[in-house]
A and B are shown apart, each in its own frame.
Chain A
Amino acid sequence: MKVNVEKHFQVSAFFTFFLIHSSQTGVGILNFQNQVIKGAEQDAWISLIITGVITHIILYIIFKLLDEENNDLVAVHHYCFGKTMGNILSVLAMIYFWLASLTVLRAYIEVIQIWVYPTIKTWQLCIVFGLTFYYLIKSGFRTLSGFSFWGVVLPSFLFFLIYFPMKHTNYIYLLPAFSHSLSELFISSKAFSLLFLGFEWIVIYYPFIRRNPNSKNISKWAYFGNLYTIIVYLIVTLISFLYFNQEVLQQLPWATLMMVKIVHFSFLERFEYAFIFIWLLVVISPICISLWACTRIIKRTFSIPPKASLKMLLLAEMIAAISLQEFKSIDHLINLTSKVGIGFVYLYLPLLLIIKLIKNNFIKNRLNKI
């Protein structure tokens, strides 16, 4: 069941770094603080490192899962469960990918509605964004990787902004350090894992990355991508913990944006508005890559051309986004996606590897017998 992707559709291994990192960073980073402090409070940065390391292990599992013969999720499913069962599981994975895309889109629209235009309708933004996404995804995977490159490089100047909150930091907020039990740390770790979700789409676009015959290039760049994500999140977490005390973080849901409020230049009093729109560059990649992965799964399982399925998927996403009206339902959506995502990435993928190894063994034994 090996997938062969023609060379001119492939991207070089170097892009794995940007693909992994950009599909992890979404809207979550704007408001994760009041979720992650629920368990470990000021020690939550330790939980971040725990989650980061676990994510690293999962990446390792993914690279074990994909090999020469079965180089994407659909192929692995077929290999382990046979055609029908494998297809059903692939469709379930596709639903999760679609859900992830919907979550980022709806959450970003919510940010715009809360912070910038309170009276704008969801459908207006949906049409504008939907057209952009359609155009991007239709152009294929190479365009998406190019976009994810710029989506990482261009917003990286935002890093210099940490200079402004730096002036108001107080180390006392991180004390007493290391005062939480392991179970409390794990509660925070679980909340952090939502931020790391997105890297798992590599199980679909893996065949699209060009491989040198002699190297472990792809996995190397993927690990770097994840490492970069950990560093970025660690900096944001530490700065926001040093800038706000824990009680404030509990009260203010949008801590990262609140932190950006302190940034002002003599020619620009309120930087957070610019920040929110620059963030569009960041959120486009996760939305588009996951949707692209959906169309890819459909193509691989039912041989429906991506052009047709993309329209359906986008339309469904827009309708779903518009039908979520209450602010509470967006919370529910995020909760649901994070639960499904954690289940898929941290439980299902390792399980799949075990099944695959058993199957490998089984086949080997049978071959030996013959």
Chain B
Amino acid sequence: MTNKKFAQRIGCVALSLFLSGCIPKSIIDEVSLMHYIGFDREKKMLKASVVYPNYATEGNSTLLTAEAKNPSSLQNELGHKSQFEYEVGQLRVMIFGDKLSRYGLADVLDTICKDPKIGVIRIVISDGSPDLILRKTLNKSPLYLKNLIDKSIEDEGIPDINLHVMYDQYFGSGIDMSFPNLKVDSKGDIKIDGMGIFKGDKLKFKISDKEAFLLKLMMDRNKNGVYSFNLDKNEHKGNIGVRILYGKHKVKVIKEGNQEKAKMDLTLNIKLEGLPKGVKLEKERDLILFKKALQKSISTEAESLLKDFQANGVDPVGLGRIYKVNRSNYSEQNFYKMIYRNMKFDVNTKIIVRQTGVGNIES
């Protein structure tokens, strides 16, 4: 009796062990784990370029391209060109070419939203075709491009954009998408160059590095980056870069007469590295003068950036979303047609000089 029971139990265990062999398996050397994928539009077709490292042969990474009419068959087309099956599970960066961004990303974005295998990836756009950029990454280390973008977002004043933020901005009302922009510079290095601002799923216009940093100050929690400005007051002249360590932003939309006004308060803690000749921060007067000049510079530039957005009819800061908070009868269309167009902007900056380094400040 006990023997029979024992045999039954062993049988059960053995059966479940064998059955787990039914699970589909992927052997790491026998899949193409793509790290980067670039999408662009070519001759009315969707073109994808993928980069995957060759772990088996220890060679450089490989770049493959394929064209198809829709994103799903694209994967198939790519599969026809490679010896191993594709896996998108380790995808880190997705690049959209200029033509596709201007044509509209909806097809591709809807497909990624439905694919549970894609993790929280970085999404960027590029000047020209993504091929140019991906080709440059081939002889670098496999995660080069991902680290480059991560670091720029962490320290160098590019707004934090990833798949989650994309969902938020793409589906959410009262905010528009924006992605960092990549380009290959004249020396042949990959470089982050400003951002692209979208309206709906279409690229509307691009902003410079400096403007991207201002945008980051207005929307991100992390405000790390360097702001450079021209000091031109009395006898002090020169271009300085200040590093912003951390800070806060507070955005409000208030009614002023018939107009809505977006009021933005920035509190920024900065670190001074170099100062132009003649500015001595020990002197109270110089410090105040310097702070005022910096505050004014940031405020005016931020205001003109907001006006720029307004003129182009885009809202990457998400003012619509802030407007919505206190109004139950909000409609996105109405807001952008009637209110946003006539909105006024008021940016107030408060600077706190936290550090001036350890060197002798008197020079």
Chain A residues in contact with chain B, CB under 8 A?
114-115, 117, 119-121, 124, 127-128, 131-132, 134-135, 167-168, 172, 175-176, 179, 243-245, 247-248, 250-252, 254, 257, 261-262, 264, 269-270, 272
Contacts and interface: CB of A to CB of B under 8 A. Distances in A.
A179 B328 contact: yes
B116 A270 contact: no
Interface string B285-306: 0000000000000000000000
B325 interface: yes
B217 to A, nearest CB: 17
B167 interface: yes
A248 B23 contact: no
B19 A135 contact: no
Which of A243, A254, A257, A262 has the largest count of B CB atoms less than 10 A from its CB? A262
Contact of B328 (A115, A127, A176, A270): A176
Contact of A176 (B20, B113, B326): B326
B113 A128 contact: no
Which residue, of A114, A121, A134, A247, has the highest number of chain B Cβ atoms within 10 A? A247
B313 interface: no
B326 A247 contact: no
Contact of B171 (A128, A247, A269): A247
A121 B19 CA distance: 12
B328 A261 contact: no
Interface residues of B, number: 30
B116 A254 contact: yes
Contacts, number: 71
B45 interface: no
29 contacts: A117-B23, A120-B23, A124-B19, A124-B22, A128-B16, A128-B19, A131-B12, A134-B12, A135-B9, A135-B12, A168-B164, A172-B322, A175-B325, A176-B325, A176-B327, A179-B328, A243-B164, A245-B321, A247-B173, A248-B167, A248-B171, A248-B172, A250-B171, A251-B167, A251-B171, A257-B116, A261-B119, A261-B120, A264-B120
Given A114-B116, A115-B116, A172-B321, A244 B15 contact: no
Contacts of A270: 89, 119
Contacts of A244: 167-168
Contacts of B326: 175-176
A120 B116 contact: no
Contacts of A121: 22
Contacts of A120: 22-24
Given A119-B24, A248-B168, A264-B119, 4 more contacts: A120-B23, A131-B15, A172-B325, A257-B116
Interface in B59-114: 89-90, 113
The 3 closest A-B pairs by CB, nearest first: A247-B171, A175-B325, A124-B22
B117 to A, nearest CB: 8
A177 B167 CA distance: 23
Contacts of A115: 116
Contacts of B325: 172, 175-176
